[in-house]
Structure 1
């Protein structure tokens, strides 16, 4: 059988069945697969990694907070020990120890992971679109658009949705439009970023800006809109140029790169009821995906339920939904809600809450501040 349409990094003994199948070569799939391979405990197992995208070039990045050294610490391009929070009537530069805010470029991440996978003889990589995923005879089964069928004898890890979320079930979208700019002279403190600046006109949703200094004369600045609809491209550019002019007092600069992305903010669980199919990644941040990957590997090695390792206590889904609804229905005061959270809670507690690691007492403190009860 010929497979000329399948792009492979290296020859592999063709098989319809593998011990593990990874549907999706994004951050979730690669983070878990690399951990499994580098653990040295899966050398006798076969792996199939399938994705429609070759990950040839992606100049965007992830920014996230993390305690201590992370699994991909060698890929961190920039880090910050302090963060600014600005909001109505509030402005503070906050030390975030024991956390650091970190940036990893997607190109660096994909190159590192895929180059490592190329060295492994027990992994096959296919770039083809997936048509369906289901369980059959206690196996995860993956069908490609070209008609080929593959089975996972142990687990099939799925890190993407085959069907988009229906519009009537989309709670909120976070739209981000960013520029990397350079200035002719030093302007920026490279030890502190701005996690959230809410001193913006709150139109069509909750608007805030982020800045990530990359050098004393170079910064990544992003305009973010939390809303139920997409903004016009012209509005993004106007927000960015207006912020540079009015808030950062910059007139001399040039744009060297542009980023745009949209993320669905949704509290729904994607976990499958099929015992051989495990959903990973969801809509988590880079940092949460790393914690999930560690938890999945620990659960697998200790013979625990892997599905539970990919989920969080039910109360956090309730909190997510409550916060999303508050921002959705009260967006004119959304900036005040978010400012109050940072004003009345240590930033470390906010990080733990967003990472779903807080105690019930801390949860109540966070919810009280969100609702203006404390």
Structure 2
């Protein structure tokens, strides 16, 4: 489906340059070094390719040159972006399901979309002449004028004007509430039509609920015979492998899917932090963190992709204008406070998770909820969202959060 260029690529040439440089202990010279080569870095490379008219020297340091399908991103946004040709599927309508019934959400002018990793990695390879150094990064040292990236043994790899570091790392300090979005999904293929490719299931809360947390299933159909079916929890701790498989099989049974008669083509697992702990987005003047490490993960949901895309677009526009590659904060400060209050309310059992999300979608237009979760709603819209939540429990959570913030440390 995705054609590969059979000519020698800049990636291969860059890797040779990098290893030759290592042999003489002389670092590659670059304007920007991307430390980590996954989704955040690929979006930056693609954005630079769209924005730049003059050459920028870019290096990528990662022990693996990312290729193929290793993850799936689902996100909402407006149609008509550069991502459209890369999408596996998109939907104008999604379902939110609770034990009380099914709610169909019409998303226009937004849409819900699925992007698999292979086309994004290939676009990144085509978009920028990046030197790729297939080695693990160790230290990232900012001397005030340039940044030196070395391997774990201290061997210099790259010296650059700026470092964009997307390697996972914990918050600057522990959060007051620390949950995880953790999940397992099966890519199921049937020999007969069993899925409706015209609509996705965004959240299906008919799954058994954990004692402390929220669980739901969802279905992202690519065709009437092929779909990603996933079980997800928002809770403080991961499950064991067998527990994920049991929960996922039960959800498939609930959907009326005979998994024994289908092919499980791929398995996807993941763990994403949901915490009000602050991430250090700029640990030194010339080092910028991207992705989850830079605060792109929404604390209340674990969604990350849209914020990563915004970071990448801003970086490319700044570089094209001759300015430092500095993204804006992924989310407004008021949204992070609202997320902290929501997490606290769920964690302390002040609100029922299923009822909370059901009420949120019931009392607000779908696009307002989705734009809030993306961090793009106005203050007026945020006040309306707050007004639609259970008032007394959320006030108790807000008061507790306020008291905790006054405590030292």
For residue 266 of structure 1, report the CA deviation from its aligned partner: 2.8
Query: What is the total number of aligned residue pairs between the two structures?
Result: 362
Alpha carbons 1:61, 1:105 under 8 Å: kept: yes
Alpha carbons 2:150, 2:156 under 8 Å: kept: yes
For residue 56 of structure 1, report the CA deviation from its aligned partner: 4.3
Aligned equivalent of 1:203 = 210
Instruction: Structure 1 unaligned segments of length 5 or more: list them.
Output: 1-7
Alpha carbons 2:217, 2:229 under 8 Å: kept: yes
Structure showing the higher strand proportion among its residues: 1
Q: Is residue 256 from structure 1 mapped to residue 248 from structure 2 by the alignment?
A: no
Q: Is residue 176 from structure 1 mapped to residue 183 from structure 2 by the alignment?
A: yes
Aligned equivalent of 1:63 = 74
Query: 2:51 and 2:322 mapped to 1: Cα distance?
Result: 16
For residue 313 of structure 1, report the CA deviation from its aligned partner: 2.3
For residue 90 of structure 1, report the CA deviation from its aligned partner: 4.2
Query: 1:238 and 1:332 mapped to 2: Cα distance?
Result: 27
Query: 1:309 and 1:296 mapped to 2: Cα distance?
Result: 9
Q: Which has the higher contact order (CA 8 A, sep 6+)?
A: 1
Q: Is residue 114 from structure 1 mapped to residue 111 from structure 2 by the alignment?
A: no
CA distance 1:303–1:60, shift in 2 (3 Å): closer
For residue 308 of structure 1, report the CA deviation from its aligned partner: 5.2
Query: Please, which of 13, 19, 34 is the counterpart of residue 46 of structure 2?
Result: 34
Query: Over residues 130-177 of structure 1, what are the superposed CA-to-partner deviations in whole Å (9 max), with x where a residue is unaligned?
Result: 11123213222222124222555432111123x545996471111111
For residue 259 of structure 1, report the CA deviation from its aligned partner: 1.3
Query: 1:302 and 1:90 mapped to 2: Cα distance?
Result: 51
Alpha carbons 1:203, 1:332 under 8 Å: kept: no
Alpha carbons 2:311, 2:327 under 8 Å: kept: no
Aligned equivalent of 1:279 = 289
Aligned equivalent of 1:219 = 227
Query: 1:357 and 1:263 mapped to 2: Cα distance?
Result: 21
TM-score by length of 1: 0.87
Alignment of structure 1 residues 86-105 onto 2, 5 Å:
86-105=97-116
For residue 12 of structure 1, report the CA deviation from its aligned partner: 3.3
Instruction: Structure 2 unaligned segments of length 5 or more: list them.
Output: 1-10, 298-303, 395-409
Query: 2:350 and 2:124 mapped to 1: Cα distance?
Result: 40
**Other structure's SS at 2:37 match:** coil
Larger mean CA deviation between 105-114 and 294-303 belongs to: 294-303
Q: Is residue 314 from structure 1 mapped to residue 314 from structure 2 by the alignment?
A: no
For residue 243 of structure 1, report the CA deviation from its aligned partner: 1.8
CA distance 1:305–1:319, shift in 2 (3 Å): farther
For residue 241 of structure 1, report the CA deviation from its aligned partner: 1.6
Q: Is residue 74 from structure 1 mapped to residue 85 from structure 2 by the alignment?
A: yes
Query: 2:387 and 2:209 mapped to 1: Cα distance?
Result: 23
Alpha carbons 2:144, 2:285 under 8 Å: kept: no
Aligned equivalent of 2:279 = 269
**Other structure's SS at 1:176 match:** strand
Aligned equivalent of 1:242 = 250
Aligned equivalent of 1:12 = 17
Alpha carbons 2:139, 2:154 under 8 Å: kept: no
Q: Is residue 83 from structure 1 mapped to residue 91 from structure 2 by the alignment?
A: no
**Other structure's SS at 2:49 match:** helix
Query: Please, which of 339, 344, 347 is the counterpart of residue 328 of structure 1?
Result: 347
Query: Over residues 159-208 of structure 1, what are the superposed CA-to-partner deviations in whole Å (9 max), with x where a residue is unaligned?
Result: 123x5459964711111111122334322221100000112221142100
For residue 288 of structure 1, report the CA deviation from its aligned partner: 2.1
Alpha carbons 1:187, 1:217 under 8 Å: kept: yes
Query: Please, which of 117, 124, 133 is the counterpart of residue 126 of structure 1?
Result: 133
